[in-house]
Amino acid sequence: MSDRPRQPAVLLVSEENADLLLDEFGRYARDYDLHAVTGAAAAEELAGRLRDEGQQVALFVSESVLPDAPVLEAFARWRAVVPTARRLIAAHWSRFLLDGPDLRAGLAKGKYDAYLLMPRGPRDEEFHTAVTELLSDWGSTVAAPEVDTVRVVSPTADALTLAIRDFLDRMGMPNRVYAPDSELGREIAAELDGAPSYPLVQALDHPAIAPRSVRDVAVTIYGRPEDIDVDTVVDLAIVGAGPAGLAAAVYGASEGLSTVVVEAEAVGGQAGTSSMIRNYLGFPRGISGMRLAQRARNQAIRFGTRFFTGWEVLALEPGAEGAPHVLRTDGGDVRARAVVVAAGVSYRKLRVPGIDELTGTGVFYGSAMTAAREMEGYDVVVVGGGNSAGQAAIHLARFASSVTILVRRPGLEETMSSYLVNEIRYSSRITVQPCSEVAEVGGEGRLEWVSVRDTVSGSLERREARGLFLLLGAEPHCDWLPDAVARDDKGFVLTGRDVPRARWVDGLPPSSLATTVPGVFTVGDLRAGSMKRVAAASGEGASVVPLVHAWLE
């Protein structure tokens, strides 16, 4: 008898068209267990039984009308049983005009994930594209990978192990943790001389290493900037691989510029940690930040961009009298005729007792996609009122028993997109606590409790919490830039007409995205006055390329 776990389940719910749905979903039968039931109650009972037996439910597919409950009520009941499953309405084409307008409104509140018409014939690939996108999203955020390209050996979920796995998840690299006393764990440990210090990482076909930082893993997989031929001067060097840097890479390389991207962490930047971006143009069902970033990276590579991940740029030395600019890193230098700084921003640090000691072991800056899976059954707290905080809370609610969003303002409406506010209101697991802030955290070896202060009354309340996710706004990450690059009083880089008049040349300001150093441009969140939105950052990254061309000419 095989020890292989049962395949994830797909539940098809329809009173009259179950056979049609089973036939259409037959193409998934190799990888998923297909179950067809006739109503909401039967689906709820079956989902509960599968859950209790240890089988995962990946997807609910329901007709728009059920015999024993309104379909949106049914989704709510099923979500209570299996909160991680994706939810799809496959409406019969005869019901499109009758049900569509009312049911589509539920999409904005996150009551389900997609509204489609049942296929009317064979090979309806538009229908199945949507299905596979939902299953792919579920597989990348919920399911353990069937095949791992990176193997991590660690006895505990310590801060470094979680950080490495989070990096790998953001890079789209399937990974799995193995115990040191497992067969594979012993094999990997045997590759290293002496008693190994954990964690250990074996990536692709590379020898195993005992990394002391995420950078060690990145260098093992992606190489070092010093691999660039020292005699080569590239046309364009981009610092940062968030949406702005990726867009600049795609457009620069596609227009014939030799392009190199240096990224200190994972491709995607802060946007890469978003579990689901629903308002990005062209993705009606939404797309995760990781997938958006990896698609953009692959697109840039197709045009010839070279990426070097895991090396922080320590200094920019502007070229003088036509000499190239030089980017200094611990792993080598990159020389370029033009530089686009798209280094983005970092989350502002929280300065309260206990934070530093527990960072990485229950306290996380950003959404920490990997850590979210570790929160199953626990209470967690999210601090922040922006879109990133909202997306993190919604994702965490799939795993955690409860999610509390702490904001200093009276509510979320001023700082968060309406679609996220609506989805948060709908979720029974998420609570918004206004006029509140974290006063202290504590725990033995990992986070166990959070003390919350009411900013109006000053009263304190201690509550149990397994996770604290801090998304507290932006701090510029540009201390490495030379003083010749003008910045505002908060440290953001000034461009175009925002540059002080005293630093204009011949009475003219720099071009719109140009800095006060000729040939150096800034795009994305690091630029003073930017919109701090993924689409805006991508637009700036594309818009800077004509300015680079003009400079090079």
Give the whole-angstrom CA distance, residue 282 versus residue 300.
19
pTM given for the model: 0.84
199: preceding bond cis by omega (within 30 degrees): yes
Q: Which two tokens stand for residue 471?
A: 């998304």
- In this structure, are residues 319 and 519 in contact, taking their beta carbons and an 8 Å threshold? yes
pLDDT at 156: 84
Instruction: Show pLDDT as tens, one digit a residue, over the chain (553 residues).
Output: 344 568 999 999 999 999 999 999 999 999 999 999 999 999 999 999 999 999 999 999 999 999 999 999 999 999 989 998 999 999 988 887 777 778 888 887 788 999 999 998 888 899 999 999 999 888 877 766 667 889 999 998 888 998 898 888 888 888 889 999 999 999 999 888 777 789 999 988 888 999 998 888 988 887 776 666 546 899 999 999 999 999 999 999 999 999 999 998 888 888 877 777 888 888 888 888 888 999 999 999 999 999 988 888 999 999 988 899 999 988 889 999 999 999 988 888 899 999 999 998 899 988 777 788 889 889 999 999 998 899 999 999 989 999 999 999 999 998 898 889 988 998 889 999 999 999 999 999 899 999 999 999 999 999 999 999 999 877 888 889 999 999 999 999 999 999 999 999 988 999 999 999 999 999 999 999 898 889 999 999 999 999 999 999 8
pLDDT at 498: 94
Give the whole-angstrom CA distance, residue 405 versus residue 381.
6
Hey, CA dihedral for 375, 379, 381, 382, is it positive or negative?
Answer: positive
Q: Which two tokens stand for residue 174?
A: 């399937």
| Per-residue H/E/C for 430-444 | EEEECCEEEEEEECC
pLDDT at 475: 86
pLDDT at 145: 66
Distance of CA 225 to the CA centre of its chain: 25
Distance of CA 52 to the CA centre of its chain: 30
- In this structure, are residues 379 and 402 in contact, taking their beta carbons and an 8 Å threshold? yes
pLDDT at 1: 36
Instruction: Give the three-class secondary structure for 409.
Output: coil
pLDDT at 228: 60
pLDDT at 531: 86
297-317 as b/e, with b when 16 or more CB fall inside 10 Å?
bebbeebebbbbbbbbbeebe
Stated length of the chain: 553
Give strand ranges (E) for 481-519. Answer: none
pLDDT at 5: 64
